[in-house]
């Protein structure tokens, strides 16, 4: 778990496993990507937007996947 604070709004992040997370594959079993949903209860739509943008900037898994993930047999 990691805490993230943006302009006085604080939240705790959980796991990528669970409802709202989709790992897609095509017919050849190649990844078509990862989609996820978030649930936020915040003081305003503006504060929620700032929080989600900041979380997306610092989140390790989305950053690694967007950069490309090397796969090699050990």
Q: Strands, DSSP E only, in the chain?
A: 2-6, 9-13, 21-25, 31-36
User: What crossing angle do the helices spanning 45-58 and 60-67 adopt, rounded to 10°?
Assistant: 60
For 23-42, the pLDDT digits (tens) are 788 899 888 887 777 777 77
The whole-number pLDDT of residue 1 equals 45
For the full predicted model, state whether its pTM sits above 0.85.
Answer: no
CA count, 13 A, side-chain hemisphere, 44: 6
For 41-71, the pLDDT digits (tens) are 777 888 888 888 888 888 877 788 888 877 7
CA count, 13 A, side-chain hemisphere, 35: 5
The whole-number pLDDT of residue 11 equals 62
């Amino acid at each position: 778990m990691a805490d993230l604070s943006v302009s006085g709004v604080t939240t705790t992040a959980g796991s990528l496993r669970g409802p709202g997370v989709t790992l897609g594959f095509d017919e050849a079993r190649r990844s078509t990507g990862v989609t996820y949903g978030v649930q936020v209860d915040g003081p305003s739509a503006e504060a929620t937007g700032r929080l989600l943008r900041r979380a997306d900037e610092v989140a390790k898994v989305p950053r690694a996947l967007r950069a490309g993930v090397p796969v090699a047999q050990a």
